[in-house]
């Protein structure tokens, strides 16, 4: 039994062959290639931050320090 690969494309959700079927086809299997989704560039940043050791500053302390810096202009 010989196996052939035929080119095809998807149109409106259906598989359409781009070449004629050979004679005496016994069975057909469809192999699809799925694009790998590109991870967002921010996923590495999220991983980086989540791996930092826990910090100690409360939101109020951070805001007060930033306020001090901005008031120093």
Partner 1 sequence: MRLYLDSSVIRRSVDGTSSERAAAVAWIKKAAESPAGTILLSKLVRAECLVMPYRNRDSELVERFESVFRDNGIVLVSISDEILDLATRIFAEHGIKMADAIHTATAVHGQCDALIARDEPWTKKSPILGLRLIAFSDLAAADGL
Could you list the residues that contact partner 1 (CB under 8 A)?
A: 37-38, 40-46, 48-50, 52, 54-59, 62-63, 65-66, 69-71, 73
The C-alpha atoms of residue 22 and residue 55 are separated, in whole angstroms, by 67
* Residue in this structure with the two tokens 């109020």, named with its chain if needed: 60
The C-alpha atoms of residue 6 and residue 20 are separated, in whole angstroms, by 8
Residue whose CB is less far from partner 1, 4 or 52: 52
Give the nearest distance from C-beta 11 to partner 1 in angstroms: 25
Residue whose CB is less far from partner 1, 20 or 54: 54
């Amino acid at each position: 039994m010989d196996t052939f690969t035929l080119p095809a494309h998807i149109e409106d959700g259906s598989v359409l062959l781009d070449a004629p079927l050979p004679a005496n086809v016994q069975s057909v299997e469809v192999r699809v290639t799925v694009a790998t989704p590109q991870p967002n560039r921010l996923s590495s940043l999220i991983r980086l931050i989540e791996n930092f050791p826990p910090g100690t500053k409360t939101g109020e302390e951070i805001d007060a320090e930033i306020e001090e810096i901005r008031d120093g202009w």
